[in-house]
Amino acid sequence: MPDKFKFVENGSITTPAGFSAAGITCGLKKSGNPDMALIVSDVPAAFSGAFTICKFAAAPVQLCKERVLKQDKIRAVIINSGNANACTGKQGYEDAVKMCGLTAAGLSISPDEVMVSSTGRIGVHMPMNIISAGIDKAAKALDPDGGITAAKAIMTTDTVPKYAAVSVELSGGVVSIGGITKGAGMIDPNITVPHATMLAYVTTDADIDNKLLAEFLGKGAEYSFNRINIDGDMSTNDSLIIMANGVSGVKVTPGSEDAEIFYQALQQLLQELAKKMVRDGEGVTKFVTVNVSGAASAADARMCAEAVCNSLLCKTAWFGCDPNWGRVIAAIGYSGADFKPENVKLDYDDMPVVRDGQDAGTPEAVLAQLLPKGEFTVSIDLGAGNYDYQMWTNDVSYEYVKINAEYHT
């Protein structure tokens, strides 16, 4: 099936036909960097969204959740960075509504056809005079090749823009799926359908209805963004929005072979975007894949993986290139997973670290040669069943502390 789709060089949200985007500077960031993006479909698009489960969900998240449940089609998404519009009460919600209205006016569409996202500092009201001028500027800057500029405009502590696209061969013709995302810190997403920050936007020119999009997005998020962990903190603003405008004329119907091919391509795209976030995590020097197998249940496999990925002791050891496997074993032990210690195996890449719950005998000096690599895999076999779980995480460095100690948008 992978031969049915391929990644597009420099692809982004404007790779699919019938989409345009813009990334501009409106003045929210003291740095003067781009801070507002706009994504627009030429025609009304089916859509779905997945959002943070944080009880302090930001005003834009609250508004978008409502629209996913009520709206049939949308045309645009307006996004600002530099201000999260979170913990801003009734005024914050009204500002999110107003952002949609201003965007709609600039595009001559209905306000209900606009979704909104924000990222940045929590607890600060939106400077609506700046926002209003920025939306007008963004609407005038729309470009069919503007996907990468939009990716740059949604960045906060990110060091590089994150974008990707795939071309998918279906029975009715070729369609494209494109996406952009941002996020380098405050990353431990748990997003649901429908219901810093990770913001992600996906477009496709395939013809797919809202129900099937929601199904695909829910599964895709579970196997991508919900499998990453940078620092164990869930944001108030996490949002994943997908739009399908059907401009290609290629219809994807439930239960068809095309539907399965499309979903697999979408999942690969979402995973690529998610991994880009981990690799660009704040202060990150290591990209670590954590594989758990042999768990007694799916819940146990997940708990084990999350415990290791959330462990500051593991993350700091990886940064220091210290093969201190005792920290990994300890995290496994307190994870809550059900297993017998004497059955546990642990490998770093293909090197045995623990066998039968004890030192496997690989010299520490040999293990230490693995950790300076930019990427490696930690494989855990609990020896308790047939369930597995995979996550992607990173180390924690001095730079992470510096960035977050000094962060002020």
CATH number at residue 393: 3.10.20.340
Which of 279, 302, 328 is the last residue before a domain boundary? Answer: 279
Distances (CA, A) of 369 to 34, 323, 366, 377: 41, 9, 5, 13
Asked if 18 and 71 sit in the same domain, the reply is yes
Asked if 222 and 370 sit in the same domain, the reply is no
Of 323, 266, 314, nearest to 290 by C-alpha is 314
Q: Which is it for strands 114-119 and 74-81: parallel, antiparallel or unpaired?
A: parallel
d(CA 19, CA 21): 7
Asked if 56 and 132 sit in the same domain, the reply is yes
Is 409 part of the annotated catalytic residue set?
A: no
- Residue 232: count other Cβ atoms within 10 Å of its Cβ: 16
Asked if 117 and 82 sit in the same domain, the reply is yes
The structure tokens listed for 47 are 């859509």
Distances (CA, A) of 131 to 136, 180, 283, 297: 9, 22, 30, 48
The structure tokens listed for 155 are 């960045």
Amino acid identity for residue 147 in this structure:
G
Q: Which residues lie closer than 8 Å to 370 by C-beta, 6 or more apart?
A: 323, 348, 349, 351, 376
Asked if 38 and 134 sit in the same domain, the reply is yes
Which of 231, 261, 279 is the last residue before a domain boundary? Answer: 279
- Give the pLDDT confidence score for residue 375 in this predicted structure: 95
Q: Which long-range contacts (CB under 8 A, 24 or more apart) does 329-334 make?
A: 329/354, 329/357, 331/307, 332/304, 332/307, 332/308, 332/380, 332/382, 334/307
- Give the pLDDT confidence score for residue 193 in this predicted structure: 44
- Give the pLDDT confidence score for residue 3 in this predicted structure: 84
Domain that holds residue 230: 2-279
Which of 229, 251, 279 is the last residue before a domain boundary? Answer: 279
Q: Which residues lie closer than 8 Å to 168 by C-beta, 6 or more apart?
A: 4, 5, 174, 175, 176, 177, 206, 261, 262, 265
Distances (CA, A) of 222 to 35, 188, 217: 29, 12, 8
Asked if 129 and 58 sit in the same domain, the reply is yes
Asked if 275 and 336 sit in the same domain, the reply is no
> Contact 23/34 with Cβ under 8 angstroms?
yes
Task: Report, as ranges of residue numbers, the positions in the chain whose pLDDT lies below 50.
Answer: 187-188, 193-196, 409
Asked if 264 and 363 sit in the same domain, the reply is no
d(CA 217, CA 340): 36
d(CA 64, CA 112): 10
- Tokens 């790779």 appear where? 15
Report how many domains make up the chain: 2
- Give the pLDDT confidence score for residue 196 in this predicted structure: 44
- Give the pLDDT confidence score for residue 188 in this predicted structure: 47
Distances (CA, A) of 137 to 74, 78, 114, 140, 152: 21, 12, 17, 5, 16
Asked if 249 and 295 sit in the same domain, the reply is no
Which one of the listed residues 52, 181, 197, 362 is annotated catalytic? 197
For position 60, which CATH number holds?
Answer: 3.60.70.12
Asked if 329 and 206 sit in the same domain, the reply is no
- Give the pLDDT confidence score for residue 237 in this predicted structure: 86
- Give the pLDDT confidence score for residue 120 in this predicted structure: 86
| pTM tops 0.85, yes or no | yes
Asked if 354 and 222 sit in the same domain, the reply is no
For residue 117, what are the β-bridge partners? 79
Q: What is the mean pLDDT of the chain?
A: 92
Asked if 177 and 129 sit in the same domain, the reply is yes
- Give the pLDDT confidence score for residue 230 in this predicted structure: 78
**DSSP state for residue 8 in the 8-state scheme:** P
